[in-house]
């Protein structure tokens, strides 16, 4: 199905109005389709996109690192096997560091640009990895984790913003959905690296994985100087010619008079003018000022919380405890299971990310959450049987459910968590909105990382602890079914119509008029829109 194909989703009665969604879908432009494989500009752009996506791998590396290090006897002996409060704080410090960056990350991204924010984040993460790898005691290691969370928040905020604002409209959703899937790449590298260093019979068995967490940041820092800045950010700073040159270079091989380029430029420029017409800057209070923004805020909070409170944290951070509870205590076996699981999750998540324009966002969210709910219920039942009877078959069933659960999560939540977030937000509040979603992720992680150790330590048998998650995921399924709306079809700017209806601050640019104007004037003049707002058209100087 194409970018502009109409789609009428079935939504709950209390969600956004069906008329707003249908109107936004109906007005989606029929842009000329392109094949990135045969287009030099797009091939170069998506080569750069890989390096933007590396930020997600850093997060995945951390998500697996502590879990894998806890399997190593030398690490547990060196740091005196932290448990309870100490383990909770050690795990949570990454999230706490991320929360600490909340006041400044969107400011840097909006004031100095997406690339500058990524650069600062990478430098901080490289320093953090060095501190972790050289740690002489647990306090040093904890300090490195806090700093790693702080730096990662900067890079993790700006990378998806830059990615979605650079992509060609035809590929935006799929490429942005792939972004968060590369979390699994970091997890795979960390897991198998630790599997290898386990054979080292000294401190370097854990220092090497800790130091290697800097690798994704080093790669991204080296590449960022070649990656173009967001054309939307450039236009917001009135650097219009630079923005047009970037759109032309990467979306039309330098042809500034290309109809798609002229349409994008006109729509972005006029939409940003409307967004900033009465307010030159944005604030977090903007999320409470309109009905559409309050709806967005509700979705952002749910995305952040559901993505971490669905039981996936048990697999990412506490898999060792899960395996121990069913009698699998061999370190090689645990690392092997983790490694295979992350590879499977990567394959499934990327495959589903490439289907977001064919299947739609909403069906993927509902299917994934429903499958997670059913799987977790079976997981809980199998765990109760294993703990009661010590049945090997029940233990194997738990492992199977962990794998199936990870596949279910990867159907939607791996890729769409970030892609859906940046898609539902207009430019003016996009950086702050993504930070809000990340804030709820870190709050959920912090609570998880304090509560989960207590759950495993004090709530016996363990299946009672799992029951809490099973009930919560069922509530998530109800919420997703009622409130998550389909956003497939419109351009990045036009998605605002789904949430704001007639009050959306979106330029009404007619693609047909853009094409006629190019035919008549070579793209050098302006054209009158239906609402009589003149959209300036300029020729690239390149």
Could you read off the pLDDT tens digit of each residue along the chain, which spans 542 residues?
333 333 333 343 334 556 666 666 656 666 778 888 889 999 999 999 999 999 999 888 987 888 888 888 999 999 988 887 788 788 889 888 998 998 899 999 999 999 999 999 999 999 999 999 999 999 999 999 999 999 999 999 999 999 999 999 899 999 999 998 888 888 889 988 998 998 899 999 999 999 999 999 999 999 999 999 999 999 999 999 999 999 999 999 999 988 889 889 988 898 888 887 766 677 889 999 899 999 999 999 999 999 988 887 776 555 666 677 667 777 778 777 777 887 888 899 999 999 998 999 999 999 999 999 999 999 889 888 877 787 778 878 888 888 899 899 999 998 999 999 999 999 889 999 999 999 999 888 878 777 776 766 666 777 788 888 899 999 999 999 999 999 988 888 888 888 887 777 766 655 555 555 655 655 544 443 443 334 443 333 33
* DSSP of 192-209: HHHHHHTT--STHHHHHH
3-state secondary structure (DSSP) of residue 295: helix
Cis before residue 461, ω within 30 degrees of 0? yes
Residue 206 half-sphere exposure toward CB, CA atoms < 13 A: 23
Cα dihedral 323, 328, 334, 336 in deg (nearest 10): -130
26 with 51, same domain: the answer is yes
251 with 218, same domain: the answer is no
- Domain with 219 in it: 18-227+282-499
3-state secondary structure (DSSP) of residue 406: helix
Residue 92 dihedral angles phi and psi, to the nearest 5°: -80, -20
The whole-model pTM stands at 0.81
The answer to whether position 4 is within a domain reads: no
Location of structure tokens 């909070």: 301
The CATH number of the domain where 492 resides is what? Answer: 1.20.1250.20
251 with 376, same domain: the answer is no
User: What is the domain count for the chain?
Assistant: 2
210 with 223, same domain: the answer is yes
254 with 368, same domain: the answer is no
Contacts of the segment 80-89: beta carbons below 8 A, 24+ positions apart: 80/138, 82/138, 83/453, 83/457, 84/453, 84/454, 84/457, 85/450, 86/138, 87/453, 88/449, 88/450, 88/452, 88/453, 88/454, 89/142, 89/450
72 with 132, same domain: the answer is yes
145 with 213, same domain: the answer is yes
The length of the chain is 542
Location of structure tokens 């979605």: 164
309 with 249, same domain: the answer is no
Fill in the DSSP letter of residue 118: H
Helical residues (DSSP H) of 278-391, grouped into ranges: 291-306, 312-316, 319-325, 331-353, 356-359, 361-389
Rounded distance between C-alpha atoms, residue 63 and residue 417, angstroms: 16
pLDDT at position 458 is 67
The answer to whether position 504 is within a domain reads: no
Rounded distance between C-alpha atoms, residue 103 and residue 94, angstroms: 17
Handedness of CA 525, 264, 529, 272 (dihedral sign): negative
490 with 523, same domain: the answer is no
235 with 340, same domain: the answer is no
140 with 206, same domain: the answer is yes
The answer to whether position 11 is within a domain reads: no
Handedness of CA 442, 447, 450, 456 (dihedral sign): negative
275 with 286, same domain: the answer is no
The answer to whether position 6 is within a domain reads: no
Residue 136 dihedral angles phi and psi, to the nearest 5°: -100, -15
């Amino acid at each position: 199905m194409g970018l502009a194909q109409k789609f009428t989703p079935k939504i709950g009665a209390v969600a956004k109005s069906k008329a707003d969604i249908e109107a936004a879908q109906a007005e989606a432009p029929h842009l000329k389709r392109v094949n990135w494989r045969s287009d030099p500009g797009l091939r170069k752009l998506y080569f750069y996109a890989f390096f933007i996506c590396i930020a997600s791998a850093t997060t995945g590396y951390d998500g697996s690192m502590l879990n894998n290090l806890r399997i190593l006897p030398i690490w547990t002996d060196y740091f005196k096997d932290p448990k309870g409060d100490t383990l909770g704080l050690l795990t949570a410090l990454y999230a706490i560091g991320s929360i600490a960056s909340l006041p400044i990350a969107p400011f840097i991204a909006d004031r100095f640009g997406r690339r500058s924010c990524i650069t600062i984040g990478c430098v901080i993460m490289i320093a953090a990895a060095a501190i972790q790898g050289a740690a002489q005691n647990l306090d040093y290691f904890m300090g490195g984790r806090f700093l790693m969370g702080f730096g990662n928040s900067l890079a993790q905020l700006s990378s998806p913003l830059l990615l979605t604002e650079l992509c060609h409209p035809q590929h935006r959703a799929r490429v942005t959905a792939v972004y968060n899937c590369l979390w699994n790449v970091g997890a795979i590298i960390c897991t198998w690296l630790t599997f290898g260093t386990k054979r080292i019979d000294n401190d370097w068995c854990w220092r090497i994985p800790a130091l290697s967490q800097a690798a994704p940041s080093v790669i991204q820092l080296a590449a960022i100087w070649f990656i173009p800045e967001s054309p939307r950010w450039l236009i917001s700073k009135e650097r219009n010619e630079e923005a047009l040159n970037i759109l032309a270079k990467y979306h039309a091989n330098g042809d500034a008079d290309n109809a798609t380029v002229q349409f994008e430029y006109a729509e972005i420029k006029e939409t940003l003018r409307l967004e900033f017409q009465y307010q030159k800057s944005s604030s977090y209070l903007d999320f409470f000022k309109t009905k559409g923004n309050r709806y967005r805020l509700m979705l952002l909070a749910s995305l952040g919380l559901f993505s971490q409170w669905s039981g996936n944290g048990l697999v990412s951070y506490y898999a060792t405890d899960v395996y121990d509870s069913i009698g699998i205590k061999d370190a090689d076996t645990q690392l092997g299971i983790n490694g295979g699981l992350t590879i499977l999750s990567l394959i499934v998540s990327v495959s589903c990310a490439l289907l977001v324009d064919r299947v739609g966002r909403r069906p993927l969210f509902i299917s994934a959450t429903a499958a997670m709910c059913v799987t977790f219920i079976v997981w809980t039942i199998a765990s109760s049987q294993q703990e009661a009877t010590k049945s090997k078959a029940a233990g194997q069933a738990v492992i199977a459910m962990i794998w199936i659960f990870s596949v279910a999560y990867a159907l939607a939540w791996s890729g769409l968590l970030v892609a859906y977030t940046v898609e539902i937000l207009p430019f003016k509040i996009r950086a702050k909105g993504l930070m809000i979603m990340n804030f709820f992720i870190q709050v959920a992680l912090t609570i998880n990382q304090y509560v989960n150790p207590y759950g495993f330590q004090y709530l016996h048998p363990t299946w009672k602890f799992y029951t809490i998650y099973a009930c919560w995921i069922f509530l998530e399924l109800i919420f997703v079914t009622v409130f998550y709306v389909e956003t497939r079809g419109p351009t990045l700017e036009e998605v605002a119509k789904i949430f704001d209806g007639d009050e959306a601050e979106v330029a009404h640019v007619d693609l047909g008029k853009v094409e006629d104007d190019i035919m008549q004037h070579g793209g050098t003049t302006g054209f009158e829109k239906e609402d009589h707002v003149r959209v300036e058209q300029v020729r690239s100087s390149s």
